[in-house]
Every structure is written in structure tokens, then in C-alpha cells.
Structure 1
Amino acid sequence: MPVRHLLGRDGTQALTQLMQQQPLLAFDFDGTLAPIVMHPDEARVPVEVARQLEHLARRVPVAVITGRQVLDVRHRLGFAPTHIVGNHGAEDEFDGPDPGVVLTLKPFRERADRFEPLLSRVGASIEDKGASIAIHYRLAANPVEARAAIDELLSDLPAGVITEPGKRVVNVLVAGAPDKGDALARLCARYGTSAAFYAGDDTNDEPAFRRAAPGWVTARVGPRLDHSHAGFFLQEQAEMDEALRVMRQALGD
């Protein structure tokens, strides 16, 4: 079934009902809370969105579950969330990344170091985040050439290492490492809630959408995709502000 617009009648009704259950509110960062930008270092949550989240965090637990490292994303938020999970679910801000995950990536890390000059020449860059590695090519003048170089790097993966494509990025992960669905379930247990909201915009958000229990609300940010497991969609990141307003209104804030 095609997903429905979160700001339509069904979506606002679902949000209103969910907020009565004091849910966990969880969000991806890039493309969800913050607009996608050409230079990742420039990504920030818009001031008004941060203000809405700050108000919500006073009433219910608010979490950010991101592919970035925790220390990277924290200063980009503009508000203090209840909890941050980084590295696609594999790095908890209190517990840190699983040392076994970091160690499993060591052979690939060494291979990537050897490929770095080639990748640099085609406009790709390697971001080592400890519990995952991202290979970016958003700034490549020739994305096809850049992707070919990346594919060469990825042609011989060490045991236990997998890849996941994203928006002009390839994520290098450890098979079986906690994903965003695991993080969402873990946070619900930690904060003692049986209800949750999750919004994200990319492939690595699908585990969280799939993990959602009946009655939870999930939203894919961006063009509607019938194959997504999200229950609703937002047309673009700019609509997040209105969705947060609906949540606050449901709380009587």
C-alpha cells in the first residue's frame, strides 16, 4: 500500500493519537532534521526546528539516531536531545561503540588507506567513524568515475564487512552490528515507553521502519516510495517543522 502524507488527515490523526501515549520521538539527522547540503560539515538543524524539538524534549524522550558519530552530530543540533545514537545504531552516546565492531573494520580500514590517493583524485573521500566507514562522492565532478573507483575499493571486502548504498555515499558496516531498528527498540526499553515515532530519509532508516510495532508512526522524508516500510511520508525536510507543531499541539503545548 502506498504510504500516506504525514500532514494529511490520516497522518495528523495518527500523530495526535500517538502523542497521547507519551512516545519516544526519534529522528535521523541528515535530510530529516537538517537539510541535505553539499558540504556535510555545514549541516545544521534549522533554528525553528531545533526550537520545536527543545519544547518536545521537555515533555517526552527525544532521540537522534544518525549515521554520523555522536560527537560529530551533537553540536549541529541546536537543542539537547534526551539521547543520541550514532554510526547507524552501532554507537551509543553513553556506552560508546562496540569494540568488536571497530576491530572487525580494521582490515578494510587498511585497504581504504591504500586506495585514498585514487579516491581523492576522483573527488571521493573516506570518513572513518570508528564503528562504520563512509565513502562520500557528493562533491565528485564525475560521479560515475568516482563510483567506479569506489567499486574497485569494495571489490574485495574482508570477512564480516558489508556495504550499504546511500545518497552519494556508500556506508561500510559490520554484518550483525546494531542498526537503527535495534537502536529504536533499545531506546524504547531504556525510557520505558511502548510507543514511538521515527522519521528518516535514506536506506539505512528502513530497519527502524520495519521494526515499528502496530500503532507507531513512521515517516519517510522525501519523494514517496512505495517500497519503503514507512507508514507515512513528508514531501521534503522543510515539512518537518509542521509535523513537530502537530506533535506539540497534541500535547497541549
Structure 2
Amino acid sequence: MEFSPHKTMSHTLPSALECLATIQHMLQNKRGMVFLDYDGTLTPIVERPEWAQLSQKMRDAVNQLSQRCDVAIVSGRDLQDIRNLVGIEGILYAGSHGFDISGPGGHLELEQGIDYLPALDRAETALTKQLAEVAGTQIERKRFAIAVHFRRADPADVSQIETIVDTILEKNPGLRKTGGKMIFELRPDIDWDKGKALRWILARLGMHDDEVLPIYIGDDLTDEDAFCELQKRGIAILVSDEQRLTAANYVLNDPLEVEQFLKRLKVNQNS
């Protein structure tokens, strides 16, 4: 029988900062590993993705944490993009929602995803042409996905934007549409997501359930797959000051609280 994750409204969740002592107690006699989303978690959400620059204080917090435990950045951004933005050596990076993973343990580029590159190329060409005259839209091509940002678009145009995306999706079998914060995204229709990437990383590093406590911090709908993966084996922390249904255990309001949490979190040394 397939596991059905428990979800609750985010405004009812306890604060991870206020419950830090409880989290520290859970980490006793465990090897900790921290997984971090980027946009909306380590940086505030901004109008254009290229504007999301990591502050030096946050970079220091992540770097210092990486001296205490294993750290992975798990992002929808391309692998090289997220590596350049974070700029910390010795940690693991998972780009394209885990389709492209690189770090001390080696490199994985999901082979199945490569087969869908022609469909993504065709979809990108069509989206660029058909959305050219819809003001405020931005198409961000990644290796294994296409994000259509509409944060700066007129709300009255969102329905038209989604119709264009759906029409192009129908003409390119093998892709699927996912959502996020003011984006539509086309990805290979493969049973792979941030949750499965998290599971693969833990297995690759030899971290077994009885010895490790993973902590995942993220803000977006794509992070819910990782939250669900951790319901029976770790801690999931949602970054949000809005109400939404989530599989997370705790909440942090914004990246500033994430920075405080990372600085104060004490975990067992890398083994």
C-alpha cells in the first residue's frame, strides 16, 4: 500500500527556532545532514531569478554549517548555476530538481532525462515565440526544465499564459507541467523529484535510517516531495509566512530566520 503523507496547514506548525531544543534532542546520537532549497529559502523571492544573490551572511552560515555536518543544496536551478551562486566547496549540489547531482560523492546526471532534451528544445522555441507579446513573462531555460515566470505579468494575463503553456505541453508528449511560486514549469515526465533525489543522496553517502537524521528546509511546492520523503525519517521545515497545506513538521517565516536557524543548529561532526 502506498504511503499517504500527512499534511496540515502551515500556520498551525510550530516554529523551528522556538523548537530548536527539541530538534537538538532529536539529533542526539544521530549523524545530521541538512538539505537546503535556494530561492525563497536562502534568498528572498525576487522578480527575476538572476537577481537572487546569496548574502555574505547567509553564505557564511551555510559554510560554517558545512564544517559541522554534510550539506546539500537542492534547487530547480541548473547545477552549474546553483554552484556559482552558492560558491562553497566541499558540499553537494543537486540541480534541476535532482536530475543533475554533483559533490564529494561523485556526479549523477539522470540518464532518462537526456532523452527528453529534444522535446524541451521544441517547447522552449514555441514558448519563446508565443509568449513574446505577453508583457511581464520570462522564460528561463534550464538543462532539464523550462520555467515560465509570470511574477511581473498582469494577473489578468495568467490564464492566457497557462493556456499557451498547456497547448505547447499537449504538442510535446513526454513532458509534464508543475507549478511553483508564480511560475509554470515543464519537465520530463519521469518519476523523479526532490524527494527521490534526497533518498538517492542519502543512499549514495551510505546514510542509513538508524544512524542519520536528515533535515530539509524549503519554501516551494516542489519541496513538498522532499517533505513527504522525510515524514518517517527526518525533519521537514517550511519557509513561509503564508497559509498553505504542507507535509512539513516545522516552519520558519523567511530567509532571515533560516540564517538564524543554521547558525544556531548544532549537529554531530561528519563521520
TM-score, scaled to structure 1? 0.88
Structure 2: how far apart are the matches of 1:241 and 1:187?
A: 24
Q: Is the 8 A contact 1:34 1:43 kept in 2?
A: yes
Report the identity percentage.
24
Q: Compared with structure 1, are the counterparts of its residues 243 and 20 closer, same or farther at alpha carbon in structure 2 (3 Å cutoff)?
A: farther
1:209 aligns with 2:211: no
Structure 2: how far apart are the matches of 1:99 and 1:191?
A: 20
State the match for 1:116 in structure 2: 128
Q: Compared with structure 1, are the counterparts of its residues 181 and 170 closer, same or farther at alpha carbon in structure 2 (3 Å cutoff)?
A: same
State the match for 2:115 in structure 1: 103
State the match for 2:173 in structure 1: 159
Q: How many residues in Structure 1 have an aligned counterpart in Structure 2?
A: 249
1:6 aligns with 2:19: no
1:132 aligns with 2:145: yes
Structure 1: how far apart are the matches of 2:24 and 2:166?
A: 41
Cα deviations by residue, 1:191-237 (Å, 9 ceiling, x for unpaired): 23332000110110001000005351110001254520011111112
1:59 aligns with 2:72: no
Cα deviations by residue, 1:135-165 (Å, 9 ceiling, x for unpaired): 112232x133144134223222532211111
State the match for 1:223 in structure 2: 241
Q: SS of the residue aligned with 1:50? A: helix
Q: SS of the residue aligned with 2:43? A: coil
- Tell me the C-alpha RMSD between the 2 structures: 2.2
Q: Which amino acid aligns with 1:113?
A: T
Q: Compared with structure 1, are the counterparts of its residues 146 and 97 closer, same or farther at alpha carbon in structure 2 (3 Å cutoff)?
A: farther
Q: SS of the residue aligned with 2:46? A: coil
1:169 aligns with 2:183: yes
Q: Is the 8 A contact 2:32 2:268 kept in 1?
A: no
1:83 aligns with 2:96: no
Q: Which piece of structure 1 moves more, 80-89 or 111-120?
A: 111-120
Q: Which amino acid aligns with 2:239?
A: V
Q: Compared with structure 1, are the counterparts of its residues 195 and 46 closer, same or farther at alpha carbon in structure 2 (3 Å cutoff)?
A: same
Shift of 1:100: 2.9
Q: Is the 8 A contact 1:163 1:171 kept in 2?
A: yes
Structure 1: how far apart are the matches of 2:229 and 2:256?
A: 26
Q: Which amino acid aligns with 2:161?
A: A
State the match for 1:178 in structure 2: 192
Q: Which amino acid aligns with 1:7?
A: L
Structure 2: how far apart are the matches of 1:228 and 1:15?
A: 23
Shift of 1:240: 0.6
| Unmatched tracts of structure 2, length 5 or more | 1-7
TM-score, scaled to structure 2? 0.83
Structure 1: how far apart are the matches of 2:246 and 2:25?
A: 23
Shift of 1:245: 2.1
Structure 2: how far apart are the matches of 1:148 and 1:242?
A: 41
Aligned equivalent of 1:33, options 42, 55, 63: 42
Q: Compared with structure 1, are the counterparts of its residues 165 and 206 closer, same or farther at alpha carbon in structure 2 (3 Å cutoff)?
A: same
Cα deviations by residue, 1:6-58 (Å, 9 ceiling, x for unpaired): 1123x441245326512111000000011112221121222112112111212
Q: SS of the residue aligned with 2:45? A: coil
Q: Is the 8 A contact 2:123 2:172 kept in 1?
A: no
Q: Which piece of structure 1 moves more, 199-208 or 219-228?
A: 219-228
Cα deviations by residue, 1:50-107 (Å, 9 ceiling, x for unpaired): 1121112122110000000011111211433510001111111243532431332523
Written as runs of structure 1 = structure 2, the 5 A alignment for 1:40-51 is: 40-51=49-60
